[in-house]
């Protein structure tokens, strides 16, 4: 028989009830509540303790001292709130509330294993329940990829570690993952096997005219400019297969030939301005524009973690690479699903670190458009998104609200908490209240990928070489030693 830890008191709804405890449980602990439709599983969401004799009405400390001297602590009570999660079998919600006096019992390991540790072909383990460390927590990969995932927390709380754990296990299942690695954190790790590192380069000849136009800042509402630009683009497509030279050079050469032609001076100045924009484009994106680079689709390796190394490029260039990759991936997957002719035969899971930079709330970026397209359409074409951010309030709320699954680690900042809550109806006030008290690596896990919301200690990924906190003092002292070595060589000792 399971241990009784309390009784339901007061008013209850089918979703929530208050209990008076005999033996106080822990926050986040799972309990069984006696119910006429059969025991239901619940989670302890709030705990409050008090004392009848030491109530709020006391205003004299001597009264407290006297009561304490009497040594009578029996009137101390602990009340708790339990959120009903559903019946033990399928977590279906009961249609009536538990009755006053109903027993609240400790949920056994067997029950919890049944709910949280579903081991099937499509599930992976990410950690263990905080309150029941013996219970592993598995997530359903199908739900995670098709309904997208957001990993949110303040800096250093364990987001990248969670990414590493998930990607490692998804790849072991045979999955294909793309990580946009803004700080070259993953490039030296192994994730489910050897990773495939992609250089942050893009070949303009694989870009669409609109994509290039945006990058070159040729404004579409200047119709004359757009007309000449598109002509040059078409011409370059033709020439690229026949003549040597880069795609942009072909465009420039064509436009220069027009400059010489007998055109009205107004048109000539439009052409000159496009050429200037192309020059500026080459300077701005020097390093990421490479006319010899292969198409990103052919550089992706199936059944592996593909890490796009963006650590050495600035945000603007990263935006170009990410948006281009997202667009190409979605388009190839669409072709595959609709016509069976795409070059990506397998579904993909796309991980965006620093998602608030790539898809910000109050600014337009190239990637933001494709992030929201994939957030809305990806499900049908097997393209999943994982948005990782330490600033939820700066992240595009539209994209965030499309992420049905969430792993929320420690968040202290109230505005960030509110944004996370707005994006997920499953995150109750009581769960939000727990966020500041989570330790590193501890998370609230929500959404379709788990049967019930869970407080989870995420596994520690064994080898993550970069990304951990730097030991600043050690690094400084190392520098000091190096300087001293250098000095030694300069000092001339009298013979």
By CB under 6 A, name the binding residues for ligand ATP: 153, 155-161, 390, 440-441, 458, 460, 467-468
Between residues 162 and 385, which has the closer beta carbon with respect to ligand ATP? 162
Q: Is 384 exposed, middle or buried (0-12, 13-18, 19+ CB in 10 A)?
A: buried
Separation between Cα atoms, residue 175 and residue 187, nearest integer Å: 18
Pairing verdict, β 442-446 and 405-408: antiparallel
Distance in Å, CB of 187 to ligand ATP, minimum: 14
157 binds, among ligand ATP, Mg ion, none (CB under 5 to 8 A by kind): ligand ATP
Residue spans of alpha helices (H) in 243-314: 247-260, 265-284, 296-299
CA distance 140 to 124: 7
Residue 160 or 434 with smaller CB distance to ligand ATP: 160
- Which one of ligand ATP, Mg ion, none is in contact with 14 (Cβ closer than 5 to 8 A by kind)? none
Residue 382 touches which of Mg ion, ligand ATP, none (CB < 5 to 8 A by kind)? none
Q: How far apart are CA 487 and CA 215, in angstroms?
A: 49
And the tokens for 192? 């489910």
Name the residues that contact Mg ion, by CB under 5 A: 159-160
24: partner contacted, choices Mg ion, ligand ATP, none (Cβ within 5-8 A by kind): none
Cβ closest to ligand ATP, residue 185 vs residue 226: 185
Helix (H, G, I), strand (E, B) or coil at 185: coil
Least Å from the CB of residue 465 to ligand ATP: 10
The minimum distance between CB 418 and ligand ATP, in angstroms, equals 20
User: How far lies 313's CA from each of 20, 318, 354, in Å?
Assistant: 58, 6, 14
Token duo for residue 38: 């059969």
| Closest to ligand ATP by CB, 31 or 137 | 137
Q: How far is the CB of 432 from ligand ATP (least distance, A)?
A: 19
Q: Nearer Cβ to ligand ATP, position 225 or 390? A: 390
The Cα 186–Cα 440 span in angstroms is 19
| Distance from C-alpha of 149 to C-alpha of 330, rounded to nearest angstrom | 17
143 binds, among ligand ATP, Mg ion, none (CB under 5 to 8 A by kind): none
Furthest CA-CA distance within the chain: 107
Burial of residue 190 (number of CB atoms within 10 Å: 0-12, 13-18, 19+) = middle
Q: Which two tokens stand for residue 239?
A: 């020439």
CB 440 to Mg ion: min, Å: 12
Looking at beta carbons, which residue is closest to Mg ion?
A: 160
Q: Which residue is nearest to ligand ATP (CB)?
A: 441
Q: Tell me the C-alpha distance between 225 and 209, whole Å.
A: 13
For residue 106, the minimal CB distance to Mg ion (Å) is: 36
Binds 97, which of ligand ATP, Mg ion, none (CB < 5 to 8 A, cut-off by type)?
none
CB atoms within 10 A of CB 15: 15
Choice between 115 and 307, CB closer to Mg ion: 307
Q: How far is the CB of 307 from Mg ion (least distance, A)?
A: 14
- Collapse the DSSP code of 31 into the 3-class scheme (helix H, G, I; strand E, B; otherwise coil) and give the result: strand
* Residue 458 binding: pick among ligand ATP, Mg ion, none (C-beta 5-8 Å cut-off by kind): ligand ATP
Q: 135 or 318: whose CB is closer to Mg ion?
A: 318
Least CB distance to Mg ion at residue 160 (A): 3
Question: For residues 372 and 383, is the Cβ–Cβ distance under 8 A?
Answer: no
Pairing state between β 176-181 and 305-309: parallel
Give 138 or 159: the residue with its C-beta nearer to Mg ion.
159
Residue 98 binding result from Mg ion, ligand ATP, none, given CB thresholds of 5 to 8 Å by partner type: none
Q: Could you list the beta-strand ranges (E) of 274-334.
A: 305-309
Cβ(351)–Cβ(177) under 8 Å?
Answer: yes
Show the CA angle centred on residue 318, arms to residues 315 and 319, nearest 5°.
85
> Quick one: what does residue 155 bind among ligand ATP, Mg ion, none, with the CB cut-off 5 to 8 Å set by partner type?
ligand ATP
Residue 352 near residue 359 (C-beta atoms within 8 A): yes
Provide the pairing of β-strand 149-152 with 383-389.
parallel
User: Of 204 and 467, which has the nearer Cβ to ligand ATP?
Assistant: 467
Output 204 or 441, the one with its CB closest to ligand ATP.
441
Question: Shortest distance, CB of residue 66 to ligand ATP, whole angstroms?
Answer: 47
Min. distance of Cβ 158 from Mg ion in angstroms?
8
Residue 100 contact partner, candidates Mg ion, ligand ATP, none, CB within 5 to 8 A by sort of partner: none
């Amino acid at each position: 028989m399971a241990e009784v830890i309390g009784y339901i008191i007061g008013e209850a709804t089918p979703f929530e009830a208050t209990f008076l405890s005999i033996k106080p449980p822990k926050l986040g602990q799972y309990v069984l509540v006696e119910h006429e439709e059969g025991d239901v599983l619940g989670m302890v969401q709030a705990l409050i303790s008090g004392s009848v004799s030491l109530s709020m009405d006391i205003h004299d400390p001597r009264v407290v001292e006297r009561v304490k001297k009497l040594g009578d602590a029996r009137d101390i009570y602990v009340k708790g709130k339990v959120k009903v999660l559903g019946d033990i079998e399928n977590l279906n919600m009961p249609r009536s509330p538990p009755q006053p006096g109903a027993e609240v019992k400790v949920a056994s390991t067997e029950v919890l294993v049944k709910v949280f540790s579903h081991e099937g072909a499509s599930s992976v383990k990410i950690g263990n329940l905080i309150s029941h460390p013996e219970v592993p927590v598995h997530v359903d990969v199908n739900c995670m990829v098709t309904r997208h995932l957001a990993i949110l927390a303040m800096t250093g709380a364990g987001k990248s570690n969670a990414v590493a754990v998930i990607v490692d296990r998804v790849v072991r299942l045979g999955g294909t993952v793309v990580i946009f690695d803004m700080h070259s954190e993953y490039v030296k790790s192994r994730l489910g096997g050897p990773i495939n590192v992609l250089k942050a380069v893009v070949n303009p000849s694989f870009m669409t005219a609109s994509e290039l136009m945006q990058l070159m800042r040729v404004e579409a509402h200047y119709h004359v400019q757009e007309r000449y630009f598109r002509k040059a683009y078409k011409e370059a497509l033709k020439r690229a297969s026949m003549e040597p030279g880069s795609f942009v050079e072909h465009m420039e050469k064509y436009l220069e030939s027009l400059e010489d032609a007998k055109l009205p001076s107004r048109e000539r100045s439009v052409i000159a301005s496009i050429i200037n924009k192309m020059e500026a484009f080459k300077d701005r994106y020097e390093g990421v524009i490479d006319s010899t680079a292969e198409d990103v689709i052919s550089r992706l390796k199936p059944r592996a973690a593909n890490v796009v190394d963006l650590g050495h490029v600035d945000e603007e260039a990263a935006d170009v690479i990410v948006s281009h990759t997202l667009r190409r991936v979605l388009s190839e997957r669409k072709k595959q699903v609709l016509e069976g002719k795409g070059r990506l035969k397998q579904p993909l899971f796309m991980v965006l670190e620093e998602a608030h930079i790539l898809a910000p709330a109050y600014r337009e970026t190239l990637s933001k458009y494709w992030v929201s397209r994939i957030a809305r359409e990806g499900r049908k074409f097997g393209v999943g998104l994982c948005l990782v951010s330490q600033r939820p309030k700066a992240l595009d709320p539209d994209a965030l609200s499309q992420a049905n699954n969430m792993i929320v680690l420690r968040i202290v900042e109230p505005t960030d908490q509110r944004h996370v809550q707005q994006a997920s109806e499953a995150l109750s006030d009581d769960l939000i209240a727990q966020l500041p008290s989570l330790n590193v690596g501890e998370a609230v896990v929500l959404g379709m990928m788990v049967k019930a919301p869970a407080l989870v200690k995420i596994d520690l990924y064994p080898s993550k070489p970069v990304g951990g906190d730097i030991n600043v003092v050690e690094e400084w002292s190392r520098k000091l030693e190096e300087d001293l070595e250098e000095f030694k060589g300069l000092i001339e000792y009298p013979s």
